[in-house]
Amino acid sequence: MNQFDKKSQAWSALFSEPMSDLVKRYTSSVFFDKRLWQADIAGSLAHAEMLAAQNIIAAADHDSIKQGMAQITREIESGTFEWKLDLEDVHLNIEARLTQLVGDAGKRLHTGRSRNDQVATDVRLWLRGEIDLILELLVELQKALVDIAEKNVEVILPGFTHLQVAQPVSFGHHMLAYVEMFARDAARMADVRKRVNFLPLGAAALAGTSYPLDRERVAVTLAMVDEQGKPCVCQNSLDAVSDRDFAIEFTAAASLAMVHISRMSEELILWMSQNFGFIHIPDRFTTGSSIMPQKKNPDVPELARGKTGRVVGHLMGLITLMKGQPLAYNKDNQEDKEPLFDTVDTLKDTLRIFAEMVGGITVKAEAMESAALRGYATATDLADYMVKKGLPFRDAHEAVAHAVKAAISHNVDLSELPLQVLQGFNPKIEKDVYECLSLRGSLNARNILGGTAPGQVRMQIARHRARLG
């Protein structure tokens, strides 16, 4: 019987009894870590190539390993590969099949390495590829937001603080706020990628190895290099096999991205409600009620808001996982994969669906402008007007408060108060005050870098288009 046909395949000679079925199920990871198979094979091929170059294994063994891995790749891609619980994880499943296919050459592959540095390498390679996909998805979402911003630069939205009408803003300007958030998310992801892209392989179990491995060669083969092409190799063997900072960092960056999506979701939910009526979301992103036929529920943004808590929970889980571990590798670290995998899946799915959903939003400009008129959104503009007429700001603030009170008592907007009434709050007020009291005038007045004036918004749109390509 081949040694890999037993659960104790990698350490069988030491043990006097087989592992129980309950423990097999409890300790096995193959049915979730098998998604690392491509990274595992890539790492093994790079390791084998280096072993041959260093004359640690024969060239013929290297050729056999390459042929066996090609066959395994075909089997996994076609769905015919048999994943075995008894073989515990993705690494031993692939190694066992390789040994079946190529014999002793397969047994020589593990020379100079441990599953400790192997899994650390696999996770880093896999996560690097996922980050690259996430960066592309972040670009697509930003482009969708820039598109809707450009179409609605002149649309006036009530800007809110404390969920109360504060000042009028361009709807396009509001959408660009989320572009800024997702741009920061992309920058964080790119920065995390630099630290993900380090090679642990060669650290072996924890202390390195006595074989003359060329770790830098493996790093170059796996494209684990910096911007100048210099190999990025973990410099301490203990840290190399036990470090999961990169997974925590990634999950933190993913959590922030999901928080930004959640904030946008909250606004979309409010805006499409009957109480606001600012936007329409395509029916394919909503569901109905099983009992109330009139309902159209914003399930996608609501679920994204809920999934944010799950991703943030994964971050807390990973931090807690690592906080009590002594050096070096411990079995605890098997628990890093499911939260990491789920975080990646959740973020990718959410980014994909939001890019499509944002592109389908219909803006109800009249409803937005009407809401802005109901909230005395130009009160600050009246205060600024008085300041320009020579009144100290705090005095202007007090005078406008009285003006708003008067408008409320007459159930009118500030712009609808007669000139003589306004002059009662400040005799320097003249007829030109009505320009600053209009929503459009208020919008145009904020013509400053980062401001909501349409000209400034268009400049920001051009900047983002140039950046996003």
Q: Active-site positions?
A: 162, 289
SS3 content of the chain, % helix, strand, coil (to 5): 65, 5, 30
Residues in the chain: 469
Angle between helices 90-102 and 115-151 (to 10 degrees): 120
CA angle, 187 then 190 then 195, to 5° = 130
**Tokens coding 336:** 């890093």
Question: What's the one-letter identity of residue 428?
Answer: K
DSSP 35: G
Instruction: Name the DSSP class of 211.
Output: S
Query: b/e string for 76-115 if b means 16 or more Cβ within 10 A?
Result: beeeebeebebbbbbbbbbbbbbbebbeebbebbbebbbb
Q: Is 143 exposed, middle or buried (0-12, 13-18, 19+ CB in 10 A)?
A: middle
Secondary structure letter of residue 170 according to DSSP: E
End-to-end CA distance of the chain: 59
Q: Other C-beta atoms within 10 Å of 273: how many?
A: 12
Strand (E) or helix (H) holding 440? helix 439-445
Residue whose entry in the numeric block shows the structure tokens 């104790």: 8
Beta bridge pairs of residue 297? 287
Say which residue the tokens 């009139």 belong to: 294
**What backbone phi and psi angles, to 5 degrees, belong to 209?**
-145, 160
Closest CA to 29 of 238, 336, 345, 348: 336
